[in-house]
Chains A and B, each alone.
Chain A
Amino acid sequence: MTETSASVAAVDFSDIQGIVRFGYGQLKDAIFLLLKIRDAGAACSWLKNAPITTAEKLSHAPTTALQVAFTREGLQALGLAEDVLQGFSPEFLSGMAGHESRSRRLGDIGASAPQSWRWGGPGKVPHMAVLVYAQRGSLDEWVQTIQGPAWTAAFEVLDCLPTSDLGGAEPFGFQDGISQPTPDWGRVRTPAVDELEYGNLVSLGEFLLGYPNEYGKYTERPLIAANAHASSVLSPAEDQRDKLDFGRNGTFVVLRQLQQDVRGFWRFVDKQVASDPRARETLAESMVGRKMNGDAILPPGTQSIVGIDPKTVAQNEFTYDTDSDGVRCPFGAHIRRANPRNPDLPSSNGWLDKMLHTLGFNNPGYRDDVIASTRFHRILRRGREYGPALSPADAVADGPDTAEHGIHFVAVVANILRQFEFVQNSWMMSTKFDAMTEESDPLLGNREAVAGCPFTNTFSIPQETGVRTRIVDVPQFVTVRGGAYFFLPSMSALRYLALVGATKVSEGS
């Protein structure tokens, strides 16, 4: 864990699986396959030939894509040595549902408890996730193609997670995936100890292992002695040149199947506003913190934000500085919780003011400067929806709706604990986010009781004058149906895995 050197190597996109860089938005059809490895040897020969898509930019956009990722169990099944495996972070090794205390922190209790998950719960952890993408209409063909001769011998398909294209909206009807951090692919960023502005350009090490993170440090990952068996395919670690970096250009994928009660959501909102369609939309928008079309509720700030895609200025060039009383976008709105857009220190005038802020002074309000710095808690989202579309009007209308709706939430992070788990625990599930009380995320909250708290199921909308409006008895809209932590290896780590797996099999036979 040493400092970055002054001269940095350019990023080799051909070594990185494409999903880190691209969302494959043009590939409207996708299916996520959850596999158990039946035969390590066959799995390795499949891996060797699998047409996995890399992060290289091609002259023509790809018409198909394939990504593979492994749980701890999967890496073990492939034959990765235990000492290498132990180089992974404890949360990856333990798994999303691996410890009761983790489930408590993630809010995976009650109806969302792993015991009732379809996959990923006790005894149901898949070995592998294979993410398959194709242009509309050609998915089946591509799935056939990628399977190849070794497939059946290699894998048992535990679950297929089909996805659907809802035109960029998530099942409640809101345009989704709009705000994404911009990874520092050019490696130009050297974060200061205190970043005084919120920025959207985030150190590469937050999304890829083997590069400096927002602390300027290399996140823990498996390093292998340079003379180790089959290590010729791996490159040396930047921070420890005598070791080979199994993690470099790889990262973690957090996959969660979140079932959304679209009917329940719109009917609840509808009831609050006496079925006025426009007010219904406005209330839902204040719960989400965005307009349904994806536009920001807050106007763009006067200063431009580093790392905001110029195409998304209308949606993303804002912070909550202009809305410190939460009147325009409630403090508890989904996107304000998920990404509070604050810098490391409250904005200061001059060094003295900065010094005072550093020591905790100059905070007139009791809720000033209480949220953690955003930049250490960013995630890349690559999720896909599932189930048919259901418009708000149809959702509130009478009639049966037996279809299941939801999202296969996918987060790409280099540090599961500090990024995904922190956001999920301290910002989404916490009933005390931003010095509030008695409410968790209006969309994701599980509304489970918390000892000593009379309620956990309210939603507050601050008003310009007078007391805030408070929505009470907010039901649970989202239930977790499955989930697991996966390691998304680099292309060289995949070659390494294929090699060690094949060797293990030949040794065993």
Chain B
Amino acid sequence: MTPQSSFMILATILPARETELRQLLATMNHEPGVFNPANTLIPFGQFNTLHFARILILDDQSTNDITVYGMSRVDYPIYLAILGDCDGPADHFLAKMVEIAGTGLRSIFTHCDEFTPGADLLTWVKAHNVSSAANYVNWIGRTVRQVGEEEALRQAVEKFLQGNSLRTLQLQQQRVVLKKFVSTEQQAGRLRLTSPEKTPIGWRLQNVIHLVGMPILLLIFSPLILLALPFFLIQLRLLETTDPEVAPRVDPAHANLLASLEDYEVTNQFSAMGSIKPGLFRRLTMILVLAAIDYTARHIFNRGRLARVTSIQFARWVFLDGGKRVIFASNYDGSLESYMDDFINKVFFGLNVVFSNGIGYPRTRWLILDGARDEQTFKNYLRRHQMPTQVWYNAYPGLTAHDKHRNALIRAGLENESMTDSEIQEWLALF
């Protein structure tokens, strides 16, 4: 199995060159919201290990919100961020990206502070790679190559089924026929089903240490945690009853700009940022909560479902500015309205636990209750913090997480040694 990793190259944009940078990034699109794979700046499509990528200009529209706490607004710099989700170690990918798209990357980074064109690009890029506080992968181990091969497999079998009725055959025989068809196609070189690579030992070891280490840490600190818990809860309820909501109606121009970048295919991007509520309490809560999410995403929710949500392909939370701000970036199937519907109806508790530490979030109770269930306030809050994604790349437009899962199950059914009739029936129902 090849595990996935993510990268986020973060650099400060030179204020004087922001407009120019926006224009440059726009050349990577056919039209706003539609990536041009043939663009010469960064031809993301040439990397056969890249699932999703995006380029963002992190211009936080909500920095004023801190004034509701009587504090003065902080003028953060505007950042450029290049995010990607890839197969294998991020460093390998970055090296390849620098190799193939070095010129394009340089021309982008010349708009940024601290970039010296003469410096070694890879070293610079690696030094500016920011790791996520929490990372979610819909299916750990599913590679770009696998997705492509398995979709080709499904389409081939689909075509075969259109031309050949198996209805008169016994179930077992139907599978034999399909297996034979696929193996003929493979031999003829028309289909390829590459075997998964061995899981890297280093990653496995790390994973086990992480799996066991976190609970052990928790156990060691449990007396402390128990002691602190009542104080935590009292403080939490105090804050929850006083923290102000900031979720006014979204400016129609902002909403239209965001909508104009969405729904060109079946998957969409979501990029948002905001500030964490002032004080150590919220900062610490956020760190702990994101660590817990990262843990569950890595060890529990790594097989197609993030709790009940099946529509998220990749997602991540990243701290910025010494933990004062957070970015959330995701790739999800369906439209924003259905995405928010999932949030509100299926995982509101998960959303509340994280985002209620952000300034202006709809009021929660006990960290998990209410919050996102205030549907319209929550939707306003979300759109308010959402930012336009300047460039967005999807290796497989048209394929949802469900599609990828189903295709893998189709393949698994072909590669199984033997199956019972009822297993075959279930398998045939996948088409």
B429:A462 contact, CB within 8 angstroms: yes
B174:A451 contact, CB within 8 angstroms: no
Chain B interface: which of A213-221, A248-256, A402-410, A496-504? Answer: A213-221
Bound-state CA distance A240–B374 (Å) is: 16
B308:A432 contact, CB within 8 angstroms: no
Instruction: State which residues 257-299 of B face A: CB under 8 Å.
Output: 259-260, 262-266
Q: Known: A215-B375, A359-B307, A363-B305. Contact between A452 and B265, CB under 8 A?
A: yes
- Number of A residues whose C-beta is below 8 Å from B? 55
Q: Known: A1-B376, A366-B405, A466-B174. Contact between A360 and B335, CB under 8 A?
A: no
- The contact of B265 among A219, A451, A454, by CB within 8 Å, is A451
B374:A450 contact, CB within 8 angstroms: no
Task: Bits for A46-59, please: 1 = Cβ < 8 Å to B, else 0.
Answer: 00000000000000
Smallest beta-carbon distance B401→chain A, Å: 9
A397 within 8 A of B: no
A344:B428 contact, CB within 8 angstroms: no
Closest partner residue, chain A, to B431 (CB atom)? A467
Which residues of B are found within 8 Å of A452, using beta-carbon distances?
Answer: 265-266, 396-399
Which residues of B are found within 8 Å of A215, using beta-carbon distances?
Answer: 344, 373-375
Closest partner residue, chain B, to A369 (CB atom)? B308
A101:B263 contact, CB within 8 angstroms: yes
B398:A1 contact, CB within 8 angstroms: no
A450:B398 contact, CB within 8 angstroms: yes
B402:A451 contact, CB within 8 angstroms: no
Chain B interface size, as a band, is: 35 or more
B335:A426 contact, CB within 8 angstroms: yes
Closest partner residue, chain A, to B306 (CB atom)? A360
B402:A366 contact, CB within 8 angstroms: yes
Which residues of A are found within 8 Å of B250, using beta-carbon distances?
Answer: 90
Instruction: State which residues 355-411 of B face A: CB under 8 Å.
Output: 373-377, 396-400, 402-403, 405-406, 409
Question: Which of A100, A105, A213, A219 has the most chain B CB atoms inside 10 A of its CB?
Answer: A105
A142 within 8 A of B: no
Closest partner residue, chain B, to A435 (CB atom)? B402
A465 within 8 A of B: yes
B337:A417 contact, CB within 8 angstroms: yes
Which residues of B are found within 8 Å of A367, using beta-carbon distances?
Answer: 402
B334:A466 contact, CB within 8 angstroms: no
Question: Which of B162, B373, B376, B403 has the most chain A CB atoms inside 10 A of its CB?
Answer: B376
B402:A101 contact, CB within 8 angstroms: no
B166 within 8 A of A: yes
A105:B398 contact, CB within 8 angstroms: no
Smallest beta-carbon distance B267→chain A, Å: 9
Which residues of A are found within 8 Å of B403, using beta-carbon distances?
Answer: 432, 437
Instruction: State which residues 237-258 of B face A: CB under 8 Å.
Output: 249-250, 252, 255-256
Smallest CB-CB A-B distances: 6 pairs: A452-B398, A452-B397, A101-B259, A451-B265, A435-B402, A360-B307
Residues of B at under 8 Å CB distance from A?
Answer: 155, 161-162, 166-167, 171, 174, 249-250, 252, 255-256, 259-260, 262-266, 301, 304-310, 333-335, 337-338, 341-342, 344-345, 373-377, 396-400, 402-403, 405-406, 409, 425-426, 428-429, 431
User: What are 7 A-to-B residue pairs whose CB atoms are below 8 Å?
Assistant: A94-B256, A358-B307, A360-B306, A367-B402, A430-B334, A450-B265, A467-B161
